[in-house]
Structure 1
Amino acid sequence: MPFLPDSPALVAGHGRAVLLTHDGAAVEVKPGLVAKQLGGAVPLLVHGPATLKRLGNPAVQVLDLLELFAFVCPARGLAPTPAGLARALEMEVPETLEDGARLLAPMAEALLARLAAGKNVPANQDAAGLAARMGAAGWGWAPYVLAALGQPAARPDGMAMRLWKRLPKWEESAPRPPPSAFAVTSGQARARLATLLGPEAEQRPAQADYASAVTAAFEPRQAEGQPHVVLAEAGTGTGKTLGYLAPASLWAQQNKGAVWVSTFTRHLQRQIEQEAGRLPDGTKVVLRKGRENYLCLLNFEDAMGVERYAVPLGLVARWAMASADGDLFGGDLPGWFAELFGHSLLAQIADRRGECIHAACPHFSACVIERVIRNAREADLVIANHALVMAQAVWGGLDDDYVPTRYVFDEGHHIFDAADSAFAVELSGAAMAELRRWLLGAEG
């Protein structure tokens, strides 16, 4: 028995839109006449805000397949189009708007069938209660999700939103002993690079020379306050990332310490993380950002009191249980999530700079930020950014008692701007408004 009713399907492109009606006919949609053509029916579509914007933002209810995907497949990304969803579901990719419209219902059925097949797995233990709560707040997918889970009469369950009760607790471990100071030789760096590239890789002598040159930065220092510094530059396509990861990973392995790789942009952080996947098994790599990039459970709890946030927070709850690190910006929360529900929501549930109460927080033992910090203490490579590294320099370690002794600064030409921001004091209207809120409260 199909889970979905006979809903129309709506797809909009640049300058043209198509509506697949109940009888299977594909008709052109004219901006300003969408509501009339729908006749009160609730259409299936992909990315409601973008689709409706192209049609003049009509006030109509929709069933957005991206919301269903976020519930069924949390912490997974895709291109927010019918073609992108088809690729994610390994279905035939539509080539025209008409093909895309005809595929929306089968894709929705495929998602609901996937949910039904996994209804008994631990990850879906609280899914019915959560969907019912979202349904009480007006989520259109709720009855179909509950039917797929085999619990059409499930009641709203507030416990499903209490992430601090469900997330694993982190544990404090003994401090890591100081690292040794064995050097990395040029030959070792070249050999490690060759291993990372594999036997089929194109031979690039410049990349091997680069890896050899940067080993000087990993030599033991002769006096306190006199580190070895290497300024290395190479052209585009040289393979700089693996060029410095080879000696860095060797130093971490030989000395039982961490090398921090710092970059300016989030995008390059993720790119380096992908390249680090070539490192030998057992190499622990952790990506770290500033606290304001991560989900704050206390702010999440505060937002739960706002009824209009029930649907997006329900999807955030699903994501948080599946997320690798709780990173709201540039992590495994899809970028289109903020487009569906607004960027302001994510800012409200993220940690805010200077506001964390640390051990005084009732959710401290389940805090995703504290878990990332502790994972980084045990890592071989920590992929950070200039802002975080400079903040640590300002505060003498910031969240960590242990300050690294080996750094690699990628995008090094941005270090000066990052240092200016970290070591400067800015007095602005926004800062004063934030101080007023702190002193008088939101209603002051």
Structure 2
Amino acid sequence: MHDQNFTSLPDLHGVPVFYPHGTQLIWISSNGEITRPSRETLAAEFALGVVLLCHRRWSAARAAIDIDHYLDVMELFAFVRPARFVLPTPSGLAQQLGLARPQQGEDMAALLPQIAFILLDELASTPDPARTEAGRIATMMTAGGWKWGPYILAHLGLPQPLAGPPDSRYAAIWDRLADYTDYTPQAEPGTQPILPDAARQRLAEMLGENAELRLPQADYAAAVAASFDRPDAGPNPAMVLAEAGTGTGKTLGYLAPATLWAEKNGETVWISTYTRTLQHQIANELTRLYPEAEAHESKVVIRKGRENYLCLLNLEEALAQMPGRPRQAAALGLMVRWAGATRDGDLTGASFPAWLMDLFGRSQTNGPCRPARRMYSCSLPAL
């Protein structure tokens, strides 16, 4: 059952706005007056009701005041556009929404209501079934006290939930996720070796016609090619320990023979790195070979340890405990929205905004992966 009454919903146009810019604490009152009040005056204003702001944790730190009743446009963005990168500032939001970037602090503060309405209208225009799913998750979050919930439900034309604990069944996105298998039988890979001249040629192709030919880099690629000799070429495994100075171009030097071997033998090549930065560097370098996004996505995958990925079983357990912890509904709802939109469930990747960590800790929804058919952290191919 639901409550059809929207009369108690405050008009978003009349919600005060707060934005700290430099040393200025900018306040826009409900009647549109712009002031720069003292911290004491601000504290009194915050106690009166809900305030619209951008990045609550940062705003509270700049004001040195606890802000308990707020509408954070970053939370709304995370709900409407999950798994999308954005800088957590009015300028960053404006850039993502195609708006002119504000230059002054007053302009940044005044832009927040417009950003909120654009996001709400965008959500309302979302086609089904995504619209229905968003409404169900918003209903759950509203029951847990999420301040944006009533506005979202109103824009979607949905009733407000009656008093009671949030219903975790509204967030069961795994019912629509594809099943994965932990193991896929593979055919025996080929054993064709990579000749040094072929490695040089592949390197030249990856560099392009206009690139400078560097002999040390080509020699490095040719030397690494020896690691792809036939396994039966000798009594010992084929192995190459190759070193080169900074600036040689080692990354492309070993990618050239590795990608060539993968193509000729129909098998995956795993490249182990020490840092995440190098992982992403390798993935970016491989756009030279696979410039089309679809081909790159099918051929190149960054794989990390399981602790880096969202565990859907842990998320399901956290949702099951939510009726006794209703205040977690907002954080869990945003996590569910992200889980439904992310390509790989990587909590340390670009699609998971770092500012969301202010809302919830990993201990609620992450941890060692456990066997399951629907699990991001057990089902990815490898780079």
Please say whether Structure 1 and Structure 2 have the same fold, judged by a TM-score greater than 0.5: yes
Q: Match of 2:69?
A: 61
Q: Aligned in 2, Cα 1:249/1:123: closer, same or farther, shift over 3 Å?
A: farther
**Distance of aligned partners of 1:240 and 1:133 in 2 relative to their CA distance in 1, 3 Å threshold:** same
Residue range with higher mean Cα deviation, 128-137 or 53-62: 53-62
Q: How does 1:422-433 map to 2 (within 5 A)?
A: none
* Pairs within 5 Å for 1:287-326: 287-304=302-319, 305-306=321-322, 307=325, 308-326=327-345
Q: Deviations over 1:120-153 (max 9, x none)?
A: 2333331112101101111111112112223244
Aligned residue for 1:5, secondary structure, equals helix
Q: Does 1:350 align with 2:362?
A: no
**Would you say the 8 A contact 1:184–1:251 is kept in 2?**
yes
Residue 373 of structure 2 aligns to a residue whose secondary structure is helix
Distance 1:174 1:335, change over 3 A: closer
Stretch moving more, 43-52 or 14-23: 14-23
Instruction: Rate the CA distance shift 1:100–1:239 in 2: closer, same or farther, 3 A.
Output: farther
Aligned 8 A contact 2:226 2:238 in 1: no
3-state SS in 2 of match to 1:277: coil
1:71-108 per-residue CA deviation (whole Å, 9 max, x = no partner) reads 10111111111111111112111222111101111111
Change (3 A) 1:147 1:276: farther
- Is residue 83–residue 351 contact of structure 2 (8 Å, CA) maintained in 1? yes
Dislocated runs of 4+, deviation >6 Å: none
Letter in 1 for 2:81: C
Deviations 1:252-275 (A, max 9, x none): 111111111111222332332233
**Preserved CA contact (<8 Å) 1:10 1:19:** yes
Match of 1:135 in 2: 142
Matched residue, 1:10:
18
Task: Say if 2:102 is the partner of 1:91.
Answer: no
Indicate how the Cα distance of structure 1 residues 302 and 26 shifts in structure 2: closer, same or farther if over 3 A, else same.
same
Is the contact between residue 192 and residue 265 of structure 2 (CA under 8 Å) also seen in structure 1?
yes
Describe the superposition over 1:41-79 as per-residue Cα deviations: whole angstroms up to 9, x where unpaired: 422211110110111132431111111111101111111
Task: Identify the residue that residue 401 of structure 1 maps to in structure 2.
Answer: none
SS in 2 for 1:366: coil
Q: 1:234 to 1:36 in 2, by over 3 A?
A: same
* TM-score, normalised by the number of residues in structure 1: 0.74
Distance of 1:18 and 1:241 partners within structure 2: 49
Task: Give yes or no for the alignment of 1:286 onto 2:293.
Answer: no
In structure 2, the residue matched to 1:175 is 185
Q: 2:240 aligns with which of 209, 216, 229?
A: 229
Work out the CA distance in 2 between the residues paired with 1:183 and 1:3: 70
Residue 346 of structure 2 is matched in structure 1 by 327
Deviations 1:381-406 (A, max 9, x none): x33xxxxxxxxxxxxxxxxxxxxxxx
User: Of 150, 172, 185, which aligns to 1:162?
Assistant: 172
Q: How many residues align?
A: 361
Percent identity between matched residues is 40
Q: For residues 296 and 187 of structure 1, do their structure 2 counterparts lie closer, same or farther at Cα, with a shift above 3 Å needed?
A: same
| 1:233 CA drift (Å) | 2.3
Q: Which amino acid aligns with 1:289?
A: K
CA contact (8 A) 2:203 2:252 kept: yes
Distance 1:224 1:302 in 2: 52
Alignment of 1:12-31 (within 5 A): 12-31=20-39
Instruction: Pick the aligned partner of 2:54 from 32, 46, 51.
Output: 46
**1:78 equivalent in structure 2:** 86
Give the AA of the match of 2:102.
P
Aligned residue number for residue 441 of structure 1: none
Identify if the C-alpha distance between structure 1 residues 29 and 264 changes in structure 2 by more than 3 Å, giving closer, same or farther: farther
Task: Give the TM-score taking structure 2 as reference length.
Answer: 0.85
Which letter does structure 2 place at the counterpart of 1:327? Answer: D
Return the offset for 1:39. 6.0
SS of the residue aligned with 1:11? Answer: strand
Once the 2 structures are TM-superposed, how far is the Cα of residue 3 of structure 1 from its aligned partner? 7.9
Tell me the CA shift for residue 347 of structure 1.
Answer: 2.7
Which of 151, 154, 157 does residue 150 from structure 1 map onto?
157
Structure 1 distance, partners of 2:218, 2:151, is 57
Q: Structure 2 vs 1, CA of residues 183 and 146 (structure 1 numbering), >3 Å: closer, same or farther?
A: same
Change (3 A) 1:231 1:111: same
The aligned amino acid for 1:23 is N
1:410-438 per-residue CA deviation (whole Å, 9 max, x = no partner) reads xxxxxxxxxxxxxxxxxxxxxxxxxxxxx
| Aligned-partner Cα distance in 1 for 2:310–2:220 | 38
The alignment status of 1:107 with 2:122, answered yes or no, reads no
Deviation (angstroms), 1:193: 2.8
* Maintained 8 Å contact 1:20/1:101: yes
RMSD across aligned positions (CA): 2.5
Structure 1 residue aligned with 2:280: 270
| 3-state SS of paired residue (1:88) | helix
Task: Please give the alpha-carbon distance, in whole angstroms, between the structure 1 residues aligned to 2:235 and 2:150.
Answer: 66
Letter in 2 for 1:36: A
Between 1 and 2, higher relative CO (CA 8 Å, sep ≥ 6) is seen in 2
Is the CA contact 1:216–1:230 (under 8 Å) kept in the aligned structure 2? Answer: no
Shift of 1:231: 1.8
Q: Is the contact made by 1:146 and 1:154 (CA closer than 8 Å) also made in structure 2?
A: no
1:18 alignment partner, SS class: strand
AA aligned to 1:102 is A
CA separation of 1:126/1:269 partners in 2, compared to 1, >3 Å: closer, same or farther?
A: same
Query: Structure 2 counterpart of 1:160, which letter?
Result: Y
| Residue 425 of structure 1: aligned partner | none
In 2, the alpha carbon distance for the partners of 1:357 and 1:314 equals 22
Higher mean displacement: 212-221 or 128-137: 212-221
Greater alpha carbon shift after TM alignment, 175-184 vs 190-199: 190-199
Q: Which amino acid aligns with 2:243?
A: A
Which deviates more, 65-74 or 183-192?
Answer: 183-192
